[in-house]
């Protein structure tokens, strides 16, 4: 049985978040938490939060065993984009695009 958790509008670019997501895809949940603990990226806190939520959903709602869970899927999608103005010469301005991302984690039980 697949159980998922989604976190929307995380203030990190999807490209940076995918670097961390690729590290834990297909790993055991305990191993994934260990990898996230020692990965030196700011987005690891957000990914760890979503992973904890998916594990809690699996244990509490679907009565799955924590020791058999693994990260079946994890993907990072593009969310909305905030546009800001940065002042430039002669009274003009440039548009700065601040990207946000949606993180989805799907955990499943290994047989």
Domain ranges across the chain: 2-109
State the DSSP code for 67.
G
Beta carbons within 8 Å of 25's beta carbon, 6+ residues apart: 71, 73, 74
pLDDT, one tens digit per residue, over 53-80 is 999 999 999 999 999 999 999 999 999 9
| Sheet of strand 69-87, all strands in order from the earlier edge strand to the far edge | 2-10, 93-109, 69-87
Q: What is the pTM of this model?
A: 0.91
Name the residue with tokens 């020791």.
67
Q: Could you give the CA distance from residue 108 to residue 92 in angstroms, rounded to a whole number?
A: 52
Complete DSSP assignment for 7-52: EEEESS-HHHHHHHHHHHTT-BHHHHHHHHHT---TTHHHHHHHHH
pLDDT digits (tens, 9 = 90+) for 13-28: 999 999 999 999 999 9
CATH fold, domain 2-109, is: Ribosomal Protein L22; Chain A (3.90.470)
């Amino acid at each position: 049985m697949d159980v998922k958790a989604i976190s929307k509008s995380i203030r990190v670019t999807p490209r940076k978040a995918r670097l961390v997501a690729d590290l834990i895809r297909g790993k055991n949940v305990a191993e994934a938490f260990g990898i996230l603990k020692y990965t030196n990226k700011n987005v690891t806190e957000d990914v760890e939060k979503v992973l904890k939520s998916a594990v809690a959903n699996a244990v509490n709602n679907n009565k799955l065993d924590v020791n058999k869970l693994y990260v079946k899927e994890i993907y990072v999608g593009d969310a909305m984009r905030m546009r800001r103005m940065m002042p430039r010469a002669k009274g003009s301005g440039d548009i700065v695009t601040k990207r946000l991302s949606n993180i989805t984690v799907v955990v499943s039980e290994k047989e």
